[in-house]
Structure 1
Amino acid sequence: MAELVFYTNPMSRGRIVRWMLEEVGAPYRTEIMGYEGAMQSPEFLAINPMGKVPTITHGGAVVTEAAAICAYLADAFPDAGLAPAPADRAAYYRWLFFAAGPVEAAIVNKSLGVEVPAEQEKMVGYRNLETAVSTLETALGEGPWLLGEQFTAADVYVGAQITWGLAFGSLPKTPAFEAYAARLHARPAAARAREIDDALLPEEMRGKM
């Protein structure tokens, strides 16, 4: 079996991939990377020239970007049942990449205080934060998951965006978001991932991620 190596930092988007790995259930080795040291080392830059985490290697494959890693792992370990059949992936791809593109861009810009003038909204992929948020809420439908009864890698990535947004105040605490976040929080794999990463945090940061 090809070795699966996970490069991460507990104060990063690597927490999304840790959760996905725990959902997959395959053995993996973790490399904890410091922002000012290991991430900028020649050895790591040869793997990911961006010098950032999360990154995984799986045999000869290198995958970066949290959404791409989630999708890759779902396909690499099909027995976990975290991706729908190829013919049923329309909503799966739609919401996975909507969260990775327009939603993340809208939230990051809000956090940085970037304001897009109304006359230039058509130039950005999310139009405005309110539109992105309301569209994201429609993705939840009747639930319990994005694809109805099947929990998938899209729920890991979209769910991480929503739970973080609620925790840090970048998304509104709507009933739909809060109910979805509560279902996600209760998943055993999510609890295991939190426990692993929280134990790696500096003591003063524990309970804040």
Structure 2
Amino acid sequence: MADIVFYHNPQSRGRIAHWMLEEVGVPYQTELLRFDRGEHKKPQFLAINPMGKIPTIKHGDVVVTEAAAICAYLADAFPAANLAPATTSPARGTYYRWLFFGAGCVEPALVDRLFKRPPVDRPGALGYGSYEDTLHALEHAVSTGKWILGEQFSAADVYVGSEIAWGMLVKAIEPRPAFQEYVARCAERPAFKRAVAQNEQYMKELA
């Protein structure tokens, strides 16, 4: 029996954790939760994640929620996959920087843009400042090498790559060449392709 239980719905941020699990390459058990039946808000799941949010993983007795945290946790829990720099490496700072920039700045900036939330009088009061500055920084992050850490693919690419792909899909990110090229590289990863194929099957099961 797999040590990891993955609570998932393919129409959610669970796709990020799914890709990450495939990159890690260890066995895991997927528990699909139906949004149309409110299974993510049932007492059984709320006992695991009180927010009733997907993705959630349970690794033994450890519960991890939030897609960025799941990516970071799995990278450290399974170092053989080489998805994070060593804690003693200077690259660890760059890895943390952009992984959490994705969670703390990119996602809220894109959601505000998508839902056309009105601008505030003091952009500095927002965690991300301005949408324009956020996209400029994001473009810089994916333009300095093949991956965020140069030649090393990492969990930061799983998270940031997923955000950029989603952002361009829903037109919350303009398809700049740097973003298109980066997402295309991500899409060539065997783990990404496996996750996409599995999610297509899950969509059929939940239809």
Same fold per TM (> 0.5)? yes
Q: CA deviation at 1:169?
A: 1.1
Distance 1:182 1:111 in 2: 23
| Paired letter, 1:171 | I
Q: CA deviation at 1:172?
A: 1.1
Q: Extract structure 1 runs of 4+ deviating beyond 3 A.
A: none
Distance 2:6 2:168 in 1: 27
Moved more, 167-176 or 45-54: 167-176
| Paired letter, 2:101 | F
Structure 1 unaligned blocks of 5 or more: none
Q: CA deviation at 1:37?
A: 2.8
Distance 1:90 1:152 in 2: 13
Q: CA deviation at 1:62?
A: 0.3
1:4 match: 4
Deviations 1:51-84 (A, max 9, x none): 1110000001000000000000001111000010
Distance 2:113 2:144 in 1: 28
2:198 corresponds, among 196, 199, 206, to: 196
Summarize the alignment of residues 172-191 of structure 1 with structure 2, pairs less than 5 Å apart.
Answer: 172-191=174-193
1:96 corresponds, among 94, 99, 106, to: 99
Q: CA deviation at 1:2?
A: 6.9
Q: CA deviation at 1:202?
A: 4.5
| Paired letter, 2:11 | M
SS at match of 2:122: helix
Report if aligned partners of 1:39, 1:51 keep a CA contact under 8 Å in 2.
yes
2:38 match: 37
| Paired letter, 1:152 | S
Residue 144 (1) aligns with residue 169 (2): no
| Paired letter, 2:144 | E
| Number of residue pairs matched by the alignment | 204
Distance 2:109 2:9 in 1: 24
Residue 67 (1) aligns with residue 68 (2): yes
SS at match of 1:92: helix
Aligned Cα RMSD in Å? 1.7
Report if aligned partners of 2:55, 2:65 keep a CA contact under 8 Å in 1.
yes
1:52 match: 53
| Paired letter, 1:84 | P
Q: CA deviation at 1:141?
A: 3.2
Distance 1:41 1:167 in 2: 31
Structure 2 unaligned blocks of 5 or more: none
Report if aligned partners of 1:16, 1:156 keep a CA contact under 8 Å in 2.
yes
1:18 match: 18
Q: CA deviation at 1:115?
A: 1.7
Deviations 1:83-116 (A, max 9, x none): 1011231010000000111110011111111122
| Paired letter, 2:99 | L
SS at match of 2:124: helix
Distance 2:105 2:40 in 1: 27
SS at match of 1:30: strand
TM-score normalised by length of structure 2: 0.94
Report if aligned partners of 1:2, 1:59 keep a CA contact under 8 Å in 2.
no
